[in-house]
């Protein structure tokens, strides 16, 4: 014959399940964050490689390259292209 659990035992069992679910949720959130970081890193590397390719800036220091980009994005034609690209959903 099966023994009945006391309300205290049921409560402990539910708390244990709740902790397990919290741990699973945390693991899934960690996995999502890791995937998002990897995706961002890949995009940054690809964009950097394209910038280096088209600007021929292999020998330019990062600070100087940043100044170049800052000047570039102030050009009205570039501003319009960049703003259109940002509005396009993927």
**Rounded mean pLDDT for each run of 10 residues along the chain, 90 residues in total:** 87 97 98 98 95 89 92 90 67
Same domain, 34 and 52: yes
pTM of the full predicted structure? 0.66
For residue 75, what is the DSSP state?
S
Same domain, 17 and 43: yes
Encoding tokens for residue 35? Answer: 């995937």
The domain containing residue 86 runs over which residues? 60-90
pLDDT of amino acid 87: 59
Residues 35 and 74 in one domain: no
37 and 67 housed in the same domain = no
pLDDT at 89: 58
For the chain, the domain total comes to 2
Say if residue 50 is in the same domain as residue 77: no
Q: Give 71's DSSP letter.
A: H
Shared-domain flag, residues 47 and 82: no
- The answer on 86 and 52 residing in a single domain is no
Whole-number Cα distances in Å, 75 to 57, 69, 70, 82: 20, 10, 9, 11
């Amino acid at each position: 014959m099966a023994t009945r659990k006391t309300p205290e035992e049921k409560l402990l069992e539910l708390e244990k399940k709740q902790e397990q679910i919290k741990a699973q949720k945390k693991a899934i959130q960690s996995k999502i964050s890791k995937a998002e970081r990897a995706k961002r890193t890949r995009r940054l590397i690809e964009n950097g490689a394209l910038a280096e390719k088209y600007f021929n800036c292999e020998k330019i220091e990062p600070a100087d390259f940043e100044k170049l980009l800052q000047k570039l994005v102030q050009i009205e034609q570039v501003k319009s292209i960049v703003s259109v690209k940002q509005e396009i959903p993927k």
